[in-house]
Structure 1
Amino acid sequence: MVTKIWSQIEKGDVQPVYLLTGTEQHLLDETIKKLIKAVPGMTSSEVNRFDLEEIPIQAVLEVANEFPFLVDHKLIVAKNCSFLKATDQSKEKQNHQLDLLEKWLENPSPTATVVFVAPYEKLDARKKITKKIKKHAVVVEAVALQGQDISTWIMQQGKDKGIEFDKKTAEFLMEMSGTDLLTLATEVDKLAGYLAFKGAVDIDMIEQLVARTPEMDVFRLTDSFVNNKRAESIAVYHDLLRNGEEPIMLASLIASQVRLMIHVTNLRKKGYQQQQIATTLRIHPYRVKLMMQRKLPPLQVLLKALDDLATIDLQLKTTSGNRQRKLELFLMNGL
């Protein structure tokens, strides 16, 4: 896991070569920030940065092999390593001498740390250079974290800022803000500032300071609706309207949540587990976890709600009058 590598870096255990791969940009950026902080005397402005779509790899190796000037150790970031993919579009622009890179990896410079960044979903594992760099580099896979990993990551982020999350508060923050790491990092920073960078985070604090995403509010709205908590449904609905959300969009999002509940219900009946359901539906496992923690209505009740929402959607698109009231009446009637 990426947090384990971060812990090693923070302890000063900085290796000569890193390979950062994956599409979770926040994890890529955070790893580089931690390396900058860990290299003695290094600042962001002193990092040697190369774009391998514009510069050949041999230029990077030349700088890596040069003796550092005014610093004891150099940090080099080489981004867009497209030669690690199946289709290397950079070949048209640059003549990368990959044989030099292969030899260099066997004996990298002792006075430099080189970070190769390949921000792609998948690398070509059949390529000789891919096998070589994975063998000699510390590989950081910046992939979307799963539910438990995200809560662990939140707790680690809080610790880095001098504040403390327990499992319950970390999961509540996820319920409020979703699973986007950049958004969560921003909220952790906000909470740390409020606590003056010391102390424990509690549920009340998160409710007061953290802004809910529209998607999470719609989840709360749908959850309260299907559980016949009518007063709560109406309160959340009015909050969304005050925030500028349109009834037609909300009806569509509620219908999407109900469809998801139907799919989860059907797959659970077939014996699917949380991760299998998330993979099948191509959604984040944490969304599945939230649904599985709740008692969902019977399938026929969900199907009727979906049919009613289709009628509401048609009315909102084709009739005049108080559009806000049409969806409000649907929520008031409950299931």
Structure 2
Amino acid sequence: MSAQRFRGDHSPEGKQGEPHIEACKPAKIKLRKKPGGFALTLMFLTPFPLLLEGFSQISNASPIGAATSFGTYALFVLAAWTLREGLQAEAAYNERKIARPRMFPRKLIAAGLSGTAVFLAAWFGWGQNMFTGIGFGVMATAAHLVAFGFDPMKRKGLPGFNEYETDRVARAVDKAEALMAEIEAAAAGINIRSVERKVSSLLDSVREMLRTVEQDPRDLTRARKYMGVYLSSARDATIKFAELNERSKDTVYQAEFVALIANLETSFKGERQLMLQDNQSDLDIEIEVLQERLQNEGHVAKD
């Protein structure tokens, strides 16, 4: 009776009379490298002396100096945070076959924030004149852009598909990835490594489906239920389990949740395999029609 605790009406097993989906075998988890690496970490650590300087200014009874140091430090941290968001958006853009540039160029904004922070630090903190501070700020902005580059600005699409079709797929993938981000955030709060790995394995399967849809936008119609309804159910179930697990470390809840995630993963993998088979069948038909046309026109000898 408790087997339906995490299942909604839109889950693969949510309705009576539907076939049971067997749990899939544990999948090998793909480690996703975080963009930015040490350079991004350094961006967060570099302004730390400004924080210490702010406390020093407080002890020296200099409120203006303290406000300047804290404000400059906050600008540096905001720039680093914006840069991280930009690098993540760039990584997602590079991974996708179909993508649209982000509305706000985060890496460019981060460069501007860094330059502004350096300008303020030079003018107010280092005692330089305004024009020297501007020079330092411009150099910092340029160095930031050289180190991390610009944001992707071009639309990515596939040959043979019009802009409407590619935009339709891009919007659907954006919504799916937003749901996946919510699932990852909820799973991170569970603090059970085995459960987090299972959720990560499910999301890897979802990403494979998204890449399949991007390669052939005609698959979007049949995949929409999985990319929207099933992912929403997975998000709701993950949030619900995280809340239950915070109140009670009941292994029964954990087993039910893991079983649901496994069933969803199997469902995504199975649907993706059907898509690939259908795409192969379409290709076989196109090849057969082309061969018949060439034979009828005398370009190829008939068997």
TM over 0.5: no
The answer to which structure has the higher strand fraction is: 1
Of structures 1 and 2, the larger Rg is shown by 2
Q: TM-score range by the shorter chain?
A: under 0.3
When normalised by structure 1's length, the TM-score is 0.24
The answer to which structure has the higher helix fraction is: 2
